[in-house]
C-alpha cells in the first residue's frame, strides 16, 4: 500500500489533528512507504493514523449536523415508527416492516430536502448607527439564495441571540434561486456593553413539517450597545440644560433677534433687515444673539452599588438630551475623562464610555472639573447615596443622588457588562 | 397554495387509509359506500371556502352512532385484527364528522396510519403495495401542502402562535416582485418526492434487520387442518375441493429453472385405516422431528434418508397461501425440511404435521427423493421379508364383500409379483372407469367403494384411490391412501408451480420391502377444455399477475433474515469474482442463488437510478412555476443584472435602467441589443403594467439566452472594456 504523507496530514488536519514537530517520524514513514522500502511496521503505523483520523472524523461529525428539533407531527412520527417497529418484531409481520420503512423514508427524505433548502443561503445584517439596550431598533436583514436552480421554502429567520429555534422574527415563504429577500425587524438588546452578533439563524419546516432544521448563516458583527436612556419622571435635571429656557444678550450668529441698528460699512449684506430699511428709508441691519453655549459637565461618581445601571442610564438620557439641545458636554468618570465638546463624535465617545462603564473601585479618584466660564455651565454629580464619596459634599454644582425609585425604570437592564 | 388545497390533500390522505382497508376485501360493500359518503360529506361540509355546515355534520355524527354500535359489537365478538380494523375505520369516520368547526386533522392522520396497519394485519395480498403507494403519495401531498400553504399549521407548529415582527419592508421593488412569484409546482414536487420515498422505502425494507420474536405464537391454538388433510377423511372431502379454484400454494423448485421433466405430486397426509366410508390415520407411534440449528440458517429437520446410489434430490420451496396450515406438503419421499417451526411430528404413514403453528412465515424448504425405483429393483424386492408390521396396511372393513376379491383376482389374472399386480390394477381402473369431478351421493352410503366398482363406475380421485387400495389389500398387498395435490399449473413467468384447491388429489402408495413406498395413481387424466384465443390472453395476463403476486410474497411477505444474509453473501461472492458460487444453498430457505446476483445488482442499480431521477425532478420541481403577466420581464431583468454583474458591470444603487444601458453601450457593445430588449420589456411591464405576450416572452428568453452565452464566454469575446470605467459594486444590500 502506497500512501502519501501529505495526503495523510491533510486528512488529519481536516479533522482537527495538526502535525506537530514530533510528527516528522510519521512523515519519514510516509517517505519510506513511497519508496516501497518501509520497515515492516510502516503500513501499520499509517493504518493507525488513518484509524485515528477516522475516529476523529466520527467524533467531529456531530458538529457538522445542523440543529434540528421535531415538530409535534415529527414527534408523533418517531413514536409511531418505534411502535410499529415493535409490532413488526412482536408479530413477525413483514408488512409492518414495510410501514416502518415507509415512515423512515419520510424521515430521511425530509432531512435531505431540508438540507437542500438550507444550503446555499447567505445572510447579511444592517444595523442602525446607535443601539440602546432595552430599546427596540430596526435591523435590516438580507437573505440570499445562492443556489443556481433550487429555491428555498418556508424559511424562518432569527437573530443569533434568539437561538436556532427561538421566536422567529421573519418568515419567507419562498426564496427563488439567485434571488434575495430584504426585510427588517425590531431588535431589542437586553444589556449594554460590547456585543458580538455571530450570525443569522435560518430554519425551515420544508418539506413535511416533521422537523425544524436550522443553519447559522455566518454574519459576524461586533457592536457596542449603549445604555438604555432613562428619562426620569421625578425632578429632572434636564430642565436646567434646556437651551430654550435661558436667554442671552451676547451677539452672535444664532437665530434669536437681539436688536436692529443702522448699517455700518463692513456689515454683511445678508444681515440687512430689508423690511425696516424700506420703512425707515435707511439701511438697517439685524443683530442676532449668539447660539446657546450652555454646557453640561456630568460627573459619574465611582463605587456605584445596585444603582449602577440606573446611574448609567440617567447619564445616557441626560447626555442625549443635552446633545439634542446643542449643548457642549463633558463626562467625568473614574475610568476616563472626556473633556468638553459637542457634536456626534463627542456623543459617541461619551455613550461608548458609558456603555463600557464598569464598577471598578475608584476611591482615590477626584474629578478634575473644568473651570466655569459662564453662568450657563452646569455641573451635575450622579452618585449613589449609600456609597457617596467624601468629596461629593464639597462638589460645586448640583449633586444628584440616584434615588431608589428610579431603579424600577431600569429594571430591564441587568447589572454588568456583556462580553 | 391555498387552505382549500390543504383541505383537499388531507382528505386525499384519508381516502388512502380507507382504500387500504377496502383492498383487503374483508369489508362489506355497503360499509365501503358509507366510507365514501362520509369522506365526501366531510370534504364538502368542512371546505374552508364554504360556510361550516354545523347542523349537517352534527346530524351525520349522530347518525353514525347506531351503525358503529352494530358493527362494533360484531367485531368485538371476533376480536383481534378485525376489532382493530373496525376501531380505526369507525374512529376515522367520527373524526371526519367531528361536530365542531375545528377538525382534529392530526388525530385523523393517526387513524389513517392505523388503517394501513390494520390492512397489514388483515391481508398480505399484493394490493397492500398499492395501498402503501397511495399512502405515500397522498401523505407527501398533504404534508407539502400543509407546509407550503400553512407553515404554521397547528399540526406542524412548535410555536403556538405566529409571531412575525415585520415593521417595514425596504425590499427593492424588483426583488419584491420576484419574491411574490408563483409557488413551486406542487404536482411535480409531490410526484418526485413520492418516487424518492418509494425508492428509499424499498432500500430500507431490504436492509432493516429482520427479527421475529413471535411472542404471541406460543399462546396460539394448534392449527386446524383443512378437510381432506385431517386425520379422518370421508369420501367427498377432496371432491369438494375440486370445485374450488382458489390458490392454495405455490411451489418453487430450487436450483433448477423451468418445468420439472416428470410429473410431480405434493404429498400431504397418508391414511391407512378404512372403515368403509372414510379413510383415517390409525393411532400409532409418532416421531417428533429433531431440530438442528446451524448458525444463521433455518432450523433443519431430518425426516428420512435415501440409500439409493443414483437418487435425484429435488428441493422445493413451498409457499402456503390459503388455510392449509398444519400439514407439510412436499414431493413424495420427503428427506429434510428447513423452516421456522415450533414442533414437527412425523406419523407412521409419512405425514409430517405441525403441532403448533409455524413460527414466522408460512413458507418452508423441503427436499425429496423424486426418482422412482426401477421395475427390476421392485421385482427383486419381492422375496425379501417385510421388516415391519404391515398388517395395518392390509386391513379391510367388513362391508367389503367377497366380490371385491373376486374382481381383484380377475383383474390381476396371471400376474404373480406385487409390482405386476399393482400395475395391472392401476391400468385397469384408469382404462375401464370414468373420471367425474362432480361428486354424487352413492346409492349405498355405507359402502361407496363397491358402489363405485360395480354400479356407478364413475367418480373422482378419492374413489379411484380407495378402490385401488381396497383391491390391492384384498390381494394382501400392503398399501395406503395419500391425499395431497397434483403439481398444478406451471407459471413460466415466475418459474414456479401454482397449485389451486381443485388440484387436490388422492392416490395410493404400495409398500415394497427394503425399498419403501411407491406411488400409484389409478385416476384417469382429467380432460381440460382447450382455451380460446381470448382465454389464452387472459391466461397469459393471469400468469403475469400471479408472478407479480408471487414476487410480492417472495420478496416482501416472506422476506426474512436468512434472505438478507443470503443477499449479502451472494454480493460478497460476486464482488470476489465468484458469481456462480451460491452463498449457502444447502441450509437456507432463501431462493437466492448465484445466478440471481445480477438481478440483485440490477435491483440496486434500478433503485439508485430511481432515486437519482427523483432527485433531479425534485430539484427541478423546487423551482417556481411559469411566470405570467408582469413578473416574467422583471425576473428576466434581474437575471440580466446578474449576467452584467458577472462581466463586471454592476448596477450602482442610484443608476436607472437607462443609465445601465448607456454603460453597456460603452463597455460591452455586443450585449447592447439584448440589454436594450430586456430593459424595454422591464420598463413596459414595471411602469406601464404591460402584460407579456407569447411572442414577447420568446423575445425575452432569446435575449436572455444570448446574454448568458456572451456572459459565460471563456475566450473573452465580447468582454467589457475595463478602460471604460464603471464601478464593480453590486446593487444595494447585495453588494459584496
Query: How far apart are the CA of A187 and the nearest CA of chain B, in angstroms?
Result: 10
| Per-residue pLDDT tens digits for B437-451 | 776 677 777 788 888
- Asked whether the beta carbons of residue B204 and residue A104 sit closer than 8 angstroms, the reply is yes
Query: How far apart are the CA of A198 and the nearest CA of chain B, in angstroms?
Result: 18
Size (chain B), residues: 736
Q: Left (φ > 0), alpha (ψ -120 to 50) or beta: where does B452 sit?
A: alpha
- Asked whether the beta carbons of residue B128 and residue A98 sit closer than 8 angstroms, the reply is yes
- Residue in chain A closest to B211 (alpha carbons) equals A89
CA A76 to CA A82: how far, in whole Å? Answer: 10
- Asked whether the beta carbons of residue A180 and residue B361 sit closer than 8 angstroms, the reply is no
In B150-265, which ranges are continuous DSSP H helix?
A: 173-179, 186-207, 237-241
Angle at B389 between CA B386 and CA B393, to 5 degrees: 95
Specify the pLDDT at position A291: 57
What would the grid cell of residue B494 be? 415466475
Q: What are the C-alpha distances in Å from A1 to residues A38, A54, B542? A: 11, 18, 57
Specify the pLDDT at position A98: 93
Q: How many CB atoms lie within 10 A of CB B129?
A: 17
Using a 10 angstrom Cβ sphere, with 0-12 exposed, 13-18 middle and 19 or more buried, the burial of residue B663 is: buried
CA B729 to CA B712: how far, in whole Å? Answer: 19
- 8 Å CB contact between B273 and B391: no
- Of B24, B733, B735, which to mutate for an interface test with A (greatest number of A Cβ within 10 Å)? B733
Query: How far apart are the CA of B33 and the nearest CA of chain A, in angstroms?
Result: 26
Helix, strand, or coil (residue B538)? helix
CA atoms within 13 A on the CB side of B700: 28
- Asked whether the beta carbons of residue B624 and residue A174 sit closer than 8 angstroms, the reply is yes
- 8 Å CB contact between B339 and B299: yes
Of B456, B552, B507, the residue nearest B205 (C-alpha)? B552
- Asked whether the beta carbons of residue A101 and residue B208 sit closer than 8 angstroms, the reply is yes
- Cross-strand bridge partners of residue B458: B434
User: Is pLDDT above 50 for B302?
Assistant: yes
Pairing of strands B344-347, B313-320: unpaired
Specify the pLDDT at position B593: 52
Query: Which of A6-20, A185-199, A374-388, B244-258 has the least mean pLDDT?
Result: A6-20
Specify the pLDDT at position A241: 46
Specify the pLDDT at position A121: 93
CA B186 to CA B624: how far, in whole Å? Answer: 10
Query: How far apart are the CA of B216 and the nearest CA of chain A, in angstroms?
Result: 7
Which residues of chain A lie closer than 8 angstroms to B359, CB-CB?
A: 92
- Asked whether the beta carbons of residue B169 and residue A102 sit closer than 8 angstroms, the reply is no
Q: What are the C-alpha distances in Å from B98 to residues B17, B62, B66, B150? A: 18, 10, 16, 22
Strands of A301-348, DSSP E: 328-332, 337-341
- pTM, rounded to two decimals: 0.67
- Asked whether the beta carbons of residue B197 and residue A100 sit closer than 8 angstroms, the reply is no
- Of B6, B125, B136, B147, which to mutate for an interface test with A (greatest number of A Cβ within 10 Å)? B147
Long-range Cβ contacts of B242-246 (<8 Å, 24+ apart) = B242/B437, B242/B460, B242/B501, B242/B502, B242/B504, B243/B437, B243/B502, B244/B500, B244/B501, B244/B502, B245/B500, B245/B501, B245/B502, B246/B322, B246/B500, B246/B501
CA B251 to CA B293: how far, in whole Å? Answer: 24
Query: How far apart are the CA of B106 and the nearest CA of chain A, in angstroms?
Result: 8
Which residues of chain A lie closer than 8 angstroms to B563, CB-CB?
A: none
- 8 Å CB contact between B315 and B306: no
Which residues of chain A lie closer than 8 angstroms to B169, CB-CB?
A: 182-184
Pairing of strands B278-280, A257-262: unpaired
Query: How far apart are the CA of B409 and the nearest CA of chain A, in angstroms?
Result: 57
- Asked whether the beta carbons of residue B178 and residue A176 sit closer than 8 angstroms, the reply is yes
User: Is pLDDT above 60 for B628?
Assistant: no
- 8 Å CB contact between B278 and B361: no
- Asked whether the beta carbons of residue A91 and residue B216 sit closer than 8 angstroms, the reply is yes
- Asked whether the beta carbons of residue A153 and residue B147 sit closer than 8 angstroms, the reply is yes
**Confidence bin at A38 (pLDDT 50/70/90):** very low
Angle at B164 between CA B163 and CA B169, to 5 degrees: 170
**Confidence bin at B28 (pLDDT 50/70/90):** confident
**Confidence bin at B296 (pLDDT 50/70/90):** low
- DSSP annotation of B220 reads S
| Per-residue pLDDT tens digits for B702-724 | 898 888 888 777 544 545 444 44
Specify the pLDDT at position B220: 54
- Asked whether the beta carbons of residue A186 and residue B165 sit closer than 8 angstroms, the reply is yes
Choose among B170, B184, B198: nearest Cβ to A151: B184
User: Is pLDDT above 80 for B29?
Assistant: yes
Q: Identify the residue whose cell numbers are 450597545.
A: A225
CA B646 to CA B638: how far, in whole Å? Answer: 13
B500: which residues sit within 8 A by CB, 6+ positions away? B244, B245, B246, B247, B248, B488, B489
Pairing of strands B363-369, B299-302: unpaired
CA B338 to CA B353: how far, in whole Å? Answer: 14
Q: How many CB atoms lie within 10 A of CB B451?
A: 19
Which residues of chain A lie closer than 8 angstroms to B120, CB-CB?
A: 93, 95-96, 98-99
Q: Identify the residue whose cell numbers are 448640583.
A: A398
Pairing of strands B313-320, B434-435: unpaired
Of B283, B316, B315, B303, the residue nearest B344 (C-alpha)? B303
| Per-residue pLDDT tens digits for B601-614 | 666 777 777 767 66
**Confidence bin at A419 (pLDDT 50/70/90):** very low
Query: How far apart are the CA of B147 and the nearest CA of chain A, in angstroms?
Result: 6
- 8 Å CB contact between B302 and B292: yes
Query: How far apart are the CA of A311 and the nearest CA of chain B, in angstroms?
Result: 32
Query: How far apart are the CA of B179 and the nearest CA of chain A, in angstroms?
Result: 6
Using a 10 angstrom Cβ sphere, with 0-12 exposed, 13-18 middle and 19 or more buried, the burial of residue B102 is: exposed
User: Is pLDDT above 70 for B136?
Assistant: yes
- Asked whether the beta carbons of residue B623 and residue A95 sit closer than 8 angstroms, the reply is no
User: Is pLDDT above 50 for A43?
Assistant: yes
- Asked whether the beta carbons of residue B120 and residue A105 sit closer than 8 angstroms, the reply is no
Q: What are the C-alpha distances in Å from A58 to residues A3, A8, A62, B21? A: 22, 16, 8, 45
Choose among B143, B210, B360: nearest Cβ to A208: B143
Q: How many CB atoms lie within 10 A of CB B655?
A: 15
Of B702, B725, B710, B715, the residue nearest B643 (C-alpha)? B710
Mean pLDDT taken over chain B: 78
Q: What are the C-alpha distances in Å from B448 to residues A321, B432, B526? A: 121, 18, 21
Choose among B132, B171, B178: nearest Cβ to A183: B171
- Asked whether the beta carbons of residue A181 and residue B175 sit closer than 8 angstroms, the reply is yes
- Residue in chain A closest to B217 (alpha carbons) equals A91
- Asked whether the beta carbons of residue B181 and residue A176 sit closer than 8 angstroms, the reply is yes
Specify the pLDDT at position B651: 82
What would the grid cell of residue A274 be? 430689508
Specify the pLDDT at position B297: 59
- Residue in chain B closest to A84 (alpha carbons) equals B117
Highest mean pLDDT of the ranges A124-138, B154-168, B559-573? A124-138
CA A190 to CA B569: how far, in whole Å? Answer: 63
CA A34 to CA A44: how far, in whole Å? Answer: 14
Q: Which phi and psi (to 5°) does residue B574 adopt?
A: -65, -40
Which residues of chain B lie closer than 8 angstroms to A80, CB-CB?
A: 110, 113
How many helices (H) does chain A have, and how many strands (E)? Answer: 8, 15
Which residues of chain B lie closer than 8 angstroms to A106, CB-CB?
A: 139, 197
- Asked whether the beta carbons of residue A94 and residue B557 sit closer than 8 angstroms, the reply is yes
Pairing of strands B273-274, B299-302: unpaired
Specify the pLDDT at position B597: 57
- Asked whether the beta carbons of residue A149 and residue B558 sit closer than 8 angstroms, the reply is no
In A69-93, which ranges are continuous DSSP H helix?
A: 72-91
Helix, strand, or coil (residue B424)? helix
- Asked whether the beta carbons of residue A102 and residue B197 sit closer than 8 angstroms, the reply is yes
- 8 Å CB contact between A114 and A213: yes
Specify the pLDDT at position B77: 76
Q: How many CB atoms lie within 10 A of CB A122?
A: 17
Specify the pLDDT at position B426: 93
Q: How many CB atoms lie within 10 A of CB B665?
A: 14
Q: Left (φ > 0), alpha (ψ -120 to 50) or beta: where does A416 sit?
A: left
- Asked whether the beta carbons of residue B619 and residue A150 sit closer than 8 angstroms, the reply is yes
- 8 Å CB contact between A159 and A200: yes
Q: Which phi and psi (to 5°) does residue B186 adopt?
A: -70, -35
Q: How many CB atoms lie within 10 A of CB B244?
A: 12
Q: How many CB atoms lie within 10 A of CB A132?
A: 22
Mean pLDDT taken over chain A: 76
Which residues of chain B lie closer than 8 angstroms to A168, CB-CB?
A: 159, 163-164
| Per-residue pLDDT tens digits for B485-531 | 998 889 988 889 999 888 889 999 998 888 888 999 998 876 566 66
Q: Omega before B445 cis (within 30°)?
A: no
Which residues of chain A lie closer than 8 angstroms to B210, CB-CB?
A: 94, 97
A47: which residues sit within 8 A by CB, 6+ positions away? none
What would the grid cell of residue B387 be? 421388516
Handedness of CA B462, B464, B470, B475 (dihedral sign): negative
- Asked whether the beta carbons of residue A99 and residue B116 sit closer than 8 angstroms, the reply is yes
- Nearest 10 degrees: Cα torsion A103, A175, A187, A199: 70
Which residues of chain A lie closer than 8 angstroms to B732, CB-CB?
A: 182
Amino acid at each position: 500500500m502506497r500512501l502519501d504523507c501529505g495526503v495523510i496530514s491533510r486528512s488529519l488536519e481536516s479533522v482537527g489533528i495538526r502535525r506537530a514537530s514530533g510528527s516528522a517520524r510519521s512523515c519519514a514513514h510516509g517517505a519510506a512507504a513511497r519508496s516501497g522500502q518501509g520497515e515492516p511496521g510502516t503500513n501499520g503505523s499509517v493504518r493507525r493514523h488513518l484509524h485515528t483520523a477516522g475516529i476523529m472524523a466520527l467524533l467531529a461529525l456531530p458538529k457538522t449536523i445542523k440543529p434540528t428539533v421535531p415538530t409535534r407531527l415529527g414527534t408523533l412520527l418517531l413514536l409511531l415508527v418505534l411502535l410499529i417497529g415493535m409490532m413488526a418484531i412482536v408479530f413477525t409481520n413483514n408488512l409492518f416492516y414495510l410501514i416502518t420503512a415507509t415512515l423512515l423514508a419520510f424521515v430521511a427524505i425530509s432531512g435531505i430536502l431540508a438540507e437542500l433548502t438550507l444550503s446555499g443561503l447567505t445572510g447579511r445584517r444592517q444595523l442602525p448607527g446607535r443601539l440602546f439596550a432595552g430599546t427596540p431598533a430596526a435591523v435590516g436583514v438580507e437573505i440570499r439564495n445562492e443556489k443556481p436552480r433550487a429555491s428555498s421554502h418556508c424559511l424562518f429567520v432569527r437573530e443569533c441571540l434568539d437561538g436556532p429555534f427561538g421566536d422567529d422574527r421573519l418568515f419567507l415563504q419562498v426564496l427563488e434561486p439567485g434571488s434575495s429577500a430584504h426585510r427588517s425587524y425590531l431588535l431589542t438588546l437586553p444589556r449594554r456593553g460590547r456585543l458580538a452578533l455571530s450570525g443569522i439563524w435560518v430554519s425551515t419546516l420544508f418539506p413535511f413539517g416533521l422537523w425544524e432544521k436550522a443553519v447559522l448563516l455566518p454574519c459576524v458583527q461586533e457592536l457596542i450597545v449603549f445604555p438604555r436612556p432613562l428619562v426620569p419622571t421625578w425632578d429632572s435635571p434636564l430642565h436646567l440644560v434646556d437651551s430654550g429656557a435661558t436667554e442671552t444678550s451676547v451677539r452672535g450668529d444664532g437665530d434669536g433677534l437681539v436688536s436692529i441698528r443702522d448699517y455700518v460699512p463692513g456689515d454683511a449684506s445678508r444681515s440687512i433687515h430689508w423690511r425696516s430699511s424700506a420703512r425707515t428709508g435707511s439701511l438697517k441691519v439685524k443683530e442676532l444673539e449668539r447660539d446657546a453655549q450652555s454646557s453640561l459637565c456630568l460627573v459619574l461618581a465611582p463605587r456605584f452599588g445596585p444603582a449602577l445601571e440606573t446611574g448609567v442610564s440617567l447619564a445616557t438620557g441626560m447626555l442625549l438630551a443635552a446633545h439634542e439641545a446643542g449643548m457642549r458636554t463633558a463626562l467625568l468618570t473614574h475610568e476616563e475623562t472626556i473633556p468638553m465638546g459637542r457634536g456626534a463624535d463627542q456623543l459617541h465617545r461619551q455613550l461608548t464610555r458609558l456603555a463600557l462603564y464598569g464598577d471598578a473601585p475608584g476611591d482615590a479618584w477626584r474629578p478634575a472639573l473644568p473651570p466655569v466660564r459662564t453662568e450657563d455651565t452646569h455641573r451635575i454629580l450622579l452618585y449613589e447615596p449609600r456609597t457617596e464619596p467624601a468629596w461629593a459634599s464639597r462638589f460645586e454644582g448640583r449633586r444628584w443622588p440616584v434615588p431608589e425609585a428610579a431603579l424600577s425604570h431600569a429594571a430591564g437592564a441587568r447589572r454588568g457588562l456583556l462580553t | 397554495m391555498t387552505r382549500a388545497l390543504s383541505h383537499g390533500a388531507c382528505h386525499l390522505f384519508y381516502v388512502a387509509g380507507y382504500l387500504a382497508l377496502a383492498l383487503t376485501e374483508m369489508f362489506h360493500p355497503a360499509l365501503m359506500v358509507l366510507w365514501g359518503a362520509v369522506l365526501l360529506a366531510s370534504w364538502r361540509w368542512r371546505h374552508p371556502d364554504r360556510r361550516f355546515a354545523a347542523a349537517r355534520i352534527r346530524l351525520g355524527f349522530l347518525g353514525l352512532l347506531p351503525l358503529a354500535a352494530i358493527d362494533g359489537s360484531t367485531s368485538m365478538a371476533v376480536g383481534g385484527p378485525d376489532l382493530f380494523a373496525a376501531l380505526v375505520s369507525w374512529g376515522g369516520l367520527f373524526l371526519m364528522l367531528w361536530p365542531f368547526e375545528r377538525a382534529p386533522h392530526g388525530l385523523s392522520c393517526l387513524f389513517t396510519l392505523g388503517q394501513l396497519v390494520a390492512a397489514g394485519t388483515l391481508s398480505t395480498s399484493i394490493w397492500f403495495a398499492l395501498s402503501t403507494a397511495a399512502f405515500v403519495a397522498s401523505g407527501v401531498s398533504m404534508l407539502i401542502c400543509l407546509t407550503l400553504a400553512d407553515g404554521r399549521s397547528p399540526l406542524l407548529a412548535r410555536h403556538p402562535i405566529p409571531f412575525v415582527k415585520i415593521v417595514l419592508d425596504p425590499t427593492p421593488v424588483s426583488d419584491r416582485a420576484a419574491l411574490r412569484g408563483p409557488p413551486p409546482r406542487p404536482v411535480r414536487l409531490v410526484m418526485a418526492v413520492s418516487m424518492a420515498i418509494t425508492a428509499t422505502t424499498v432500500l430500507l425494507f431490504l436492509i432493516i434487520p429482520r427479527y421475529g420474536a413471535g411472542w404471541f405464537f406460543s399462546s396460539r391454538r394448534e392449527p386446524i387442518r383443512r378437510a381432506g388433510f385431517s386425520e379422518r377423511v370421508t369420501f367427498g372431502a377432496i371432491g369438494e375441493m375440486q370445485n374450488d379454484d382458489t390458490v392454495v400454494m405455490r411451489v418453487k423448485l430450487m436450483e433448477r429453472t423451468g418445468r420439472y421433466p416428470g410429473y410431480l405430486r405434493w404429498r400431504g397426509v397418508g391414511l391407512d385405516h378404512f372403515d368403509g366410508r372414510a379413510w383415517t390415520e390409525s393411532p400409532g407411534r409418532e416421531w417428533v422431528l429433531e431440530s438442528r440449528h446451524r448458525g444463521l440458517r433455518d432450523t433443519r429437520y431430518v425426516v428420512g434418508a435415501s440409500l439409493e446410489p443414483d437418487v435425484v434430490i429435488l428441493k422445493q420451496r413451498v409457499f402456503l397461501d390459503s388455510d392449509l396450515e398444519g400439514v407439510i406438503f412436499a414431493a413424495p419421499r420427503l428427506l429434510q425440511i428447513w423452516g421456522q417451526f415450533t414442533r414437527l411430528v412425523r406419523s407412521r404413514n409419512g405425514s409430517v404435521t405441525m403441532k403448533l403453528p409455524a413460527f414466522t412465515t408460512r413458507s418452508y424448504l423441503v427436499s425429496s427423493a423424486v426418482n422412482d425405483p426401477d421395475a427390476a429393483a421392485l421385482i427383486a424386492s419381492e422375496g425379501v421379508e417385510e421388516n415391519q408390521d404391515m398388517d395395518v396396511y392390509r386391513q379391510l372393513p367388513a362391508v367389503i364383500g367377497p366380490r371385491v376379491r373376486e374382481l381383484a383376482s380377475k383383474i390381476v389374472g396371471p400376474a404373480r409379483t406385487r409390482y405386476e399386480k399393482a400395475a395391472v390394477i392401476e391400468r385397469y381402473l384408469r382404462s375401464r372407469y370414468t373420471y367425474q369431478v362432480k361428486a354424487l351421493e352413492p346409492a349405498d352410503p355405507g359402502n361407496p367403494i363397491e358402489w363405485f366398482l360395480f354400479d356407478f363406475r364413475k367418480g373422482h380421485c378419492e374413489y379411484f384411490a380407495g378402490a385401488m387400495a381396497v383391491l390391492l389389500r384384498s390381494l394382501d398387498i400392503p398399501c395406503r391412501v395419500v391425499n395431497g395435490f397434483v403439481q398444478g399449473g406451471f407459471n413460466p413467468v415466475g418459474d414456479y408451480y401454482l397449485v389451486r384447491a381443485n388440484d387436490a388429489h388422492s392416490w395410493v402408495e404400495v409398500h415394497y420391502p427394503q425399498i419403501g413406498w411407491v406411488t400409484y395413481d389409478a385416476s384417469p387424466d382429467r380432460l381440460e377444455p382447450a382455451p380460446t384465443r381470448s382465454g389464452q390472453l387472459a391466461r397469459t395476463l393471469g400468469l403475469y399477475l400471479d408472478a407479480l403476486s408471487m414476487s410480492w410474497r417472495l420478496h416482501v411477505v416472506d422476506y426474512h433474515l436468512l434472505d438478507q444474509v443470503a443477499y449479502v453473501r451472494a454480493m460478497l461472492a460476486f464482488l470476489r469474482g465468484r458469481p456462480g458460487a451460491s452463498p449457502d444453498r444447502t441450509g437456507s430457505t432463501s431462493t437466492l442463488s448465484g445466478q440471481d446476483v445480477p438481478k440483485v445488482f440490477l435491483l440496486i442499480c434500478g433503485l439508485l437510478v430511481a432515486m437519482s431521477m427523483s432527485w433531479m425532478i425534485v430539484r427541478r420541481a423546487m423551482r417556481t412555476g411559469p411566470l405570467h403577466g408582469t413578473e416574467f420581464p422583471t425576473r428576466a431583468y434581474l437575471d440580466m443584472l446578474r449576467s452584467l454583474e458577472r462581466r463586471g458591470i454592476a448596477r450602482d444603487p442610484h443608476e436607472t435602467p437607462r443609465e445601465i444601458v448607456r454603460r453597456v453601450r460603452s463597455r460591452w457593445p455586443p450585449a447592447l441589443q439584448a440589454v436594450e430588449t430586456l430593459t424595454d420589456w422591464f420598463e413596459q411591464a414595471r411602469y406601464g403594467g404591460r402584460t407579456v405576450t407569447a411572442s414577447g416572452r420568446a423575445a425575452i428568453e432569446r435575449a436572455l439566452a444570448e446574454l448568458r452565452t456572451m456572459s459565460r464566454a471563456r475566450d473573452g469575446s465580447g468582454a467589457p472594456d475595463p478602460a471604460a470605467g464603471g464601478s464593480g459594486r453590486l446593487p444595494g444590500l447585495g453588494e459584496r
